[in-house]
Amino acid sequence: MPRKTVVIFGALNILWMVFAASQAFKIEIFPESKILAQIGDSISLTCSTTGCDSPSFSWRTQIDSPLNGKVINEGTKSTLTLEPVGFAHEHSYLCTATCGHDKQERGVQVDLYSFPEDPEISFSGLLEVGKPVTVTCLVRDVYPFDRLEMHLLKGDHLMKNQEFVEDTDVKALETKSLEVTFTPTNEDIGKTLVCGAKLHIDEIDFKLKEKETTKTLQVYISPRNTVISVNPSKRLQEGGSVTMTCSSEGLPAPQILWSKKLDNGNLQLLSENATLTLIAMRMEDSGIYVCEGVNLAGRDRTQVELIVQVAPRDTTISVSPSSILEEGSSVNMTCSSDGLPAPKILWRRQLNNGELQFLSENTTLTLISTKMEDSGIYVCEGINQAGKSRKEVELTIQVAPKDIQLRAIPSESVKEGDTVIISCTCGNVPQTWIILKKKAETGDTVLKSTGGEYTIHKAQLEDAGVYECESKNQVGLQLRSLTLDVKGRENNKDYFSPELLVLYCASSLIIPAIGMIIYFARRANMKGSYSLVEAQKSKV
C-alpha cells in the first residue's frame, strides 16, 4: 500500500513566500509546526529563507537526540528527509538559519501513527450449522492503539463493538483483535460478515483512518440422513443383480462413496457414484456394503448387508458303520447340504402310508440299539430361504441266521421208491431266506422248496447224495448238510413189496385151507380135483 504523507499546503503561504523574497531576512519551515506521519513512510521537512543570499542551516531535535535523517542544503533551502519514519522521529525538529549575524529558528513537531492494513477475518474452524464457532477480526501494527475502535457486523446485526482505550507509555506497534463466538444457523447461509476498524485521529484522512473487510459466510452442513435404497432386495439369488442408491443431506451436497467392508474391517472403495449396481452376484459377494456421504464439514455413513442365497444342493448322507446292520447295533446317519445361508437339516422317516414322520433337526441322526422295525427309508432335507434339497437312505436291520437244522424224513437212508422229505428250519429268519441245494460234481442244483421243505416222491437211486441248506443274509451265514442214501431193490434179498407180502400171507392161509378141502373131499368121496399150481398162477 503506497504511503503518503498528507501535508496541508496552504495556497496563501506560497503567495506569501514569493511576495516576501525581497524583504528582510526571514525563515519559514514546511510543513508548518506539525506533521503526522505514518510509520514507515518518508517525510521531508523543508526550511527556507528570504532576504539572504547564502544562509547557513542547521537542524536539531528539541531534546538533542540524534537527527536520524539526511540533510540537503541547496541555496536558500535546507531539507531534512526522514526515511523510513519510526518512533525515533517522534520529536520536535528545529531548523536554524544564519545570515551574517542574523539568526532565525523554526520548529516542527513530528507525530506518528500506524494503521497500514485492512482488518483480517478468521474463524476457529469451519462454519457448521449448529456448531459454535469463534470469529476473530484483527488489525496489525496499530499505533497509537488507544485510539482504535473495532466492530463486527453479521448482515445488519452488530455483533460487537470495542474501543481500545488503554493507557500505555510503551511506544510500539500492536495487533488488536475482536472475538465473537456464535452458532451458525441456516439463516446465516450466504450472509456477509463485516469487520470495521477506525483510528480516531482527526488529522488523518477519512480514507486512511477507517478500514473494513467483508466476508461472505461459507456455512457448511455436515452430511446427515444418509440412506440406502436397495432394489430389488437385500437377499439375492446367486447370479442375480442388485442396484443400490445412496443419498445424503448436507451443504455443500455430500459426495457419495460406496465401499465394501472387508473381513479385516477395512473398507474397499467400489464407486464414487450414488448408484451402485452389482451384477452376477456370487456367494462371496455377500457382506456389508457401506455408503458414506462426505463433504468438507464431515462424513456420515450407513450400511446394508447383502446376502447372496444359494438354494441347498449336493445333499449327501453318510451312514456309519453301514446302512445294513445287525439288530442291536447303533448307527449314525449324517446329512450335509451346501447352500447359503447354510441350509437347516431336517431328518424324517417315511412311513408305510408314504407320510413323513419328523425325527430331528440335528445333522447327525443316531439310532442306538436298532430293531428290525427301524428298517425303512430315512429322508434328509437341506432347507433355506432359497429352496430345499432332498436325499434318502434305506436302512436295513437284520438278524444273523442261527439254529439251522436240516433233516431227512423219515430217514437219511431210504429204499428206492420211498418218499423222502428234506426239511430245513432256521430259528430266527424268515423261510424265504433258506436255500436248499443238492451238491453235485457238475454243479449244485437249487431245489424248489416251499417253506424250507423239499419232497422226493419215489426216491430213485440218483436222488442219493449230499443235500445242503444255507441260510444267509448280509449279517450272517449258516450251513448244514446231510447225505441221503437210497438203496436199490435187487440189492436187498429180504425185499418184499407190500403186495407180495399180502400174497404170501394169503397163500400161507390158503394152502392149509386147500389141504383141508382135499382131506374133507377124500373123506366125503367127492369127485374132481384142485391144482395148487393153477390156483397160484391165477392169483399172481
Ligand X SMILES: *[C@@H]1O[C@H](CO)[C@@H](O)[C@H](O)[C@H]1NC(C)=O
The CB-of-285 to ligand X minimum distance in angstroms stands at 16
Min CB(376)–ligand X separation in Å: 17
Going by DSSP bridges, is the β-strand pair 298-320/235-237 parallel, antiparallel, or unpaired? parallel
Closest-CA residue to 154 (of 110, 216, 96, 95): 216
> Shortest distance, CB of residue 378 to ligand X, whole angstroms?
13
Amino acid at 533: V
* Count of Cβ atoms closer than 10 Å to residue 175 Cβ: 11
Nearer to ligand X, 264 or 369 (CB): 369
Q: In this complex, which beta carbon is closest to ligand X, that of residue 124 or of residue 318?
A: 318
Nearer to ligand X, 213 or 255 (CB): 255
Give the nearest distance from C-beta 184 to ligand X in angstroms.
Answer: 33
Sites of contact with ligand X (CB under 6 A): 271-273, 320-321, 330-332, 360, 362, 366
* Residue 135 or 257 with smaller CB distance to ligand X: 257
Q: How near is the Cβ of 257 to ligand X at its closest, in Å?
A: 10
The residue to which cell 540533510 is assigned: 71
CA of 179: how far to CAs of 119, 147, 155, 192, 367, in Å? 13, 19, 17, 16, 84
Grid cell, residue 483, equals: 447225505
Helix (H, G, I), strand (E, B) or coil at 260: strand
Nearer to ligand X, 321 or 488 (CB): 321
Three-class SS state of 265: coil
Q: Which one, 96 or 337, has the nearer CB to ligand X? A: 337
Q: Smallest distance from the beta carbon of 325 to ligand X, in angstroms?
A: 9
- From CA 489, how far away is CA 492, in angstroms rounded? 5
Which of 231/531 has CB closer to ligand X?
231
**Which grid coordinates belong to 149?**
475502535
Q: Specify the residue, 150 or 346, whose C-beta has the smaller distance to ligand X.
A: 346
The contacts found for 317-324 with CB under 8 angstroms, 24 or more apart, are 317/378, 317/380, 317/391, 317/392, 317/393, 319/393, 319/395, 323/393, 323/394, 323/395, 323/396, 324/395, 324/396, 324/398, 324/474, 324/475
- Residue written as grid cell 451265514: 477
Identify which of residues 346 and 426 has a Cβ nearer to ligand X in the complex.
346
CB atoms within 10 A of CB 303: 16
- Give the span between the Cα atoms of 266 and 532, in whole angstroms: 131
Task: Give the C-alpha separation, 259 to 202, whole Å.
Answer: 65
CA–CA separation, 133 vs 155, rounded Å? 17
| Closest distance to ligand X from the beta carbon of 139 (Å) | 49
Nearer to ligand X, 98 or 245 (CB): 245
CB of 307 to ligand X, least distance (A): 23
The minimum distance between CB 366 and ligand X, in angstroms, equals 6
The 10 Å Cβ neighbour count of residue 527 is 5
Quote the least distance from Cβ 321 to ligand X, whole Å: 6
